[in-house]
Amino acid sequence: MKKFILLTLILSLILSLSACGGPGGGDTAPDPTASPTVIRLDDAGVTVNGAPAGEDAESGVTAAHDIVYYESGRGPLYGEGTARDEHPAAEAAAHTVVHITRPGVYVLSGRLSAGQIAVDLGEGARDDPGAVVELVLAGVEITCTVAPALIFYNVYECDRGGVPSPTVDTSGAGAVLRIRDGTENILNGSYVARIYASVETDAEGKVQDSKKLHKYDGAVYSKMSMNIFGGTGRLTVNAENEGLGTERHLTVNGGVIRVFSGNDGINTNEEGVSVTTVNGGDLTIVVDGGYGGGDGIDSNGWLVINWGTVRAFASSASRDAGLDADLGVILNGGQVAATGSLPVKAAGESLQRSVTFSLLQGEAGAYSVRDGAGAEVLPVQAQNAFTLLTVSSPRLADGLYTLYRGETPLTSARCGAGGPPDTTPDTTPDTTPPLPDPPPEVPDDALVKITDYIPSIFVDLRYATENNFTGQIVYDFTEPRLRYGTVKKLAQVQEALLAQGYSLKIWDALRPVSAQFALWAICPDSRYISDPNTSTSNHCRGNTVDVTLVLADGTEIPMPSDFDTFNALADRNYSDVSSQAAKNAKRLEAVMTAYGFKPYIAEWWHYTDATTYGVVQ
């Protein structure tokens, strides 16, 4: 009953934040089904509804070479930038800026290798509830090396002032991004250092006071509050500085979003006011520290997570937090994992429990959070080194939890109710079973369960079921095994794929010799089945695996064929499959081969560890 009440409260909160609108109470965002403007990006020329940009005066879309950037050689009275922030005029002039100047829905697809989408409805738009622009990302790739790849300058600001609150309503926001289902979208962006509108100097000519003309830190940036919507569509943001940034509020309502940034992955930057809200979706943030370190998510007001999956990995090169909010982090629901070197400041009004583990130095890799009975509560694939890991999940209850690396327990922490920790001395006898002794060192040739060391991997052992080409159960075990040396390499593959939003799924691993004879009897074709009478399949050595690629949440994606498709679709000549299936298979092959696996030419799913072992008897 408690879980039902908690879920009801969370759903009510989400509905209250997303159903109400701006002035007048309705949803002022454009209707995505109403005649959108279709923009096709291409380095050879941008088209709008099929015509060259600028020819249709009613479209509100033009293309020009007038990007806002931090110009090199302008001196100290120009702005606060340093040499690393400056760009020559020729570099800026090479960029095509697609200007959107009217409200409406705009569907974007195609590619700009040097360009930007800039939305500006004019100075009066801030106070106009109708000044809403929805950008539908429908398979777009934009690279901008001098400024944000996408920026909202002037649209409606739905926050009309009043008392700051973590339950701010952004449903009427004038900046809207919608990620179309089934599409891949990539925004590679830079930033603009602070440029002065005016300055006051002292007798020596040093700047004493200034007013800002431009400063845009994120690869995707909005000067006003912004909403992001999506389902199965994917958005990857590769940012030189910050990833997603707004000067007021940001609400993520859905979508599969990956942010790789040199500084904060997400930043909402009005002090004491801004709210970053996550109501759903799958969000992964990896900060590499290339621009001075950074938090995973940084709000200068509140951070509120109501639902969805959030993985936030702060830079390991600086003292930062996976989740950072000046006025507090409110955890109401969803699956959350955050790493860093500073603690998450959880607010007392959180509805969902969280627990924080402390390590002297945790390395990037696979971890598992387990309860007192040893059951896994949440797998974590840390993308950066860390000293603090905070997790939150509906599965957490009061009690002691232990963080594992493989089967090795590392540290334990006690979880209590949501909010700040209870500092009252605990006089209750601790009946938690003692931690097991660390396991002995595992030799590389030992056979191990793959999921013991890669808990995030998906498993569908086809020969343990009737769902294979024989229609029969070929072997009677359901846990895939490999040599430990091979599993270590496979763990590196999984870590690399998770960082890209994907995961491995295992179809077959160690195969008993008896199973090899059974398969040969049914399909005596040496292109697909090794003849056990004359040779030994590497599957019987425990260093070969049949795998496919899925999204990080297990969602199937197009691949060249199903498992054990004994025809030309199975080979690595992808001319006879869809472009998306070929792209996915090549992605899988690139990562597998990078970590020491050799592909088999006749089966796209088949990979063998370059290190060989004897036959398992």
Please give the Cα distance from 91 to 601 (Å, whole number).
Answer: 43
Please give the Cα distance from 326 to 329 (Å, whole number).
Answer: 8
| Close Cβ partners of 30 (under 8 Å, ≥ 6 residues apart) | 103, 104, 105, 132, 133, 134, 176
Q: Which secondary structure element, helix H or strand E, spans residue 210, and what is its range?
A: strand 207-216
For residue 138, CA distances in Å to 106, 180, 234, 281, 550 come to: 10, 5, 10, 17, 21
Please give the Cα distance from 178 to 106 (Å, whole number).
Answer: 10
Least confident of 27-36, 37-46, 560-569: 27-36
Confidence class for position 32, pLDDT limits 50, 70, 90: very low
For residue 442, CA distances in Å to 159, 274, 313, 439, 488 come to: 58, 50, 29, 8, 11
Q: Are 257 and 235 in contact (CB under 8 A)?
A: yes
Fold of 353-422+429-439: Immunoglobulin-like (2.60.40)
3-state secondary structure 11-80: HHHHHHHHHCCCCCCCCCCCCCCCCCEEEEECCCCCEECCEECCCCCCCCEEEECCCCCCECCCCCCCEC
Instruction: Summarize the confidence of residues 309-322 as an average pLDDT.
Output: 92
Tokens of 586: 């090549």
Residue 319 has pLDDT above 60, yes or no: yes
Please give the Cα distance from 139 to 179 (Å, whole number).
Answer: 9
Three-point CA angle 289, 403, 498, nearest 5°: 50
Residue 376 has pLDDT above 90, yes or no: yes
Give me the CATH code for the 447-609 domain, please.
3.30.1380.10
Say which residue the tokens 């440029």 belong to. Answer: 195
CA-wise closest residue to 155 among 89, 91, 106, 84: 106
Say which residue the tokens 């797998």 belong to. Answer: 379
In tens, the pLDDT along 428-461 reads: 444 444 444 444 578 899 999 998 888 889 999 9
Please give the Cα distance from 233 to 137 (Å, whole number).
Answer: 9
Least confident of 157-161, 223-227, 310-314: 157-161
Confidence class for position 235, pLDDT limits 50, 70, 90: very high
Q: Which DSSP string do the residues of 90-104 spell out, in sequence order?
A: HHHHTPEEEEE-S-E
Instruction: Summarize the confidence of residues 354-377 as an average pLDDT.
Output: 92
Q: Are 451 and 461 in contact (CB under 8 A)?
A: no
CA-wise closest residue to 261 among 287, 297, 235, 299: 287
